[in-house]
Amino acid sequence: MVGRGLWVCKPCFGKRGRFGVVPALCVLIVSAALLALLFVDSIESWATSMNMNTMVEAQGGIIPPQSVPPTRPEEYLLMPSPLVCQRAKPYLIAMVTSAPANQMARQAIRDTWGGEVEVRGHRVMTLFMVGVASDPGLAKLLIEEARERGDLIQGRFWDSYSNLTLKTLSMLNWARRFCPQAHFLAKETIVFWGLCLCQDFNTVISTSALFHWEW
């Protein structure tokens, strides 16, 4: 674009003279294009900050502006201790994707299969992955639940159907960063599944049909 603009300006100088109106316009256009290229990052940052401020005001200002946009799914608003996997040393992590409002369903899992810490000699750990709640009251309840239970991971994105991919990426990134010693990661929804499958882990040749990830 810039090169083409300079090529167009060459005949302009020849036709109208050195100080004509057309050459001046050519210089202004080229200068504007160069300035736009130099400050494109600043313009994008300004636009992003404006969008963040709007989103924070909509939620009542509970979440800091820098935590709202879904641009860095490896960062988390709520999470267990970074040392949780070093202490538990899980062989399998069961990650349950959950909506912020599904508190009763999460508790039902904790009271049943999610409460198991060892199955047939294999250490297992169940965690819940959620996004940002649009209701300020619900956001406070999530903070209390995370403090009490220690099994919630909250990504920096709105919890919505369109952000399911971000929820999965946040889940995988958390496991990669804080629990690399785990052999398997199972992604689940709010449903029951059989932890008795653990007995077959050592004999499984291909895990692609059962699990999303193997380290």
Residues 26 and 91 in one domain: no
Residue 101 inside a domain? The answer is yes
Using CA atoms, how far apart are residues 51 and 195, in angstroms rounded to an integer?
43
pLDDT at 141: 95
pLDDT at 150: 92
Residue 58 inside a domain? The answer is no
Phi first, then psi, for residue 183 (nearest 5°) are -80, -35
Residue 74 inside a domain? The answer is yes
Beta strand spans in 91-121 (E): 92-97, 118-119
Residues 33 and 116 in one domain: no
48: CB partners within 8 A, 6+ apart: 69, 71
141: CB partners within 8 A, 6+ apart: 103
Residues 97 and 145 in one domain: yes
The number of folded domains in the chain is 2
Residues 107 and 31 in one domain: no
Residues 82 and 34 in one domain: no
Residues 30 and 92 in one domain: no
Residue 49 inside a domain? The answer is no
pLDDT at 25: 72
Per-residue pLDDT of the chain (215 residues; tens, 9 = 90+): 444 444 444 444 444 445 566 677 777 777 776 665 555 445 544 444 444 343 333 344 444 434 444 445 457 899 998 888 988 899 999 999 999 999 999 999 999 888 878 878 889 999 999 999 989 999 999 999 999 999 999 998 899 998 888 898 888 889 988 999 999 888 877 555 555 555 555 554 444 444 443 33
pLDDT at 186: 87
Residues 103 and 152 in one domain: yes
pLDDT at 191: 56
Residue 12 inside a domain? The answer is yes
Whether 139 contacts 62, CB under 8 Å: yes
Whether 195 contacts 117, CB under 8 Å: no
pTM of the prediction?
0.59
pLDDT at 166: 87
Tokens 């490896």 correspond to 74
Using CA atoms, how far apart are residues 211 and 186, in angstroms rounded to an integer?
5
Residues 98 and 172 in one domain: yes
Q: Please choose, from the candidates 117, 195, 185, the residue with its C-alpha nearest in 3D space to the C-alpha of residue 153.
A: 185
Residue 65 inside a domain? The answer is no
Residues 106 and 152 in one domain: yes
Domain coverage including residue 87: 70-214
Per DSSP, 69 falls in state S
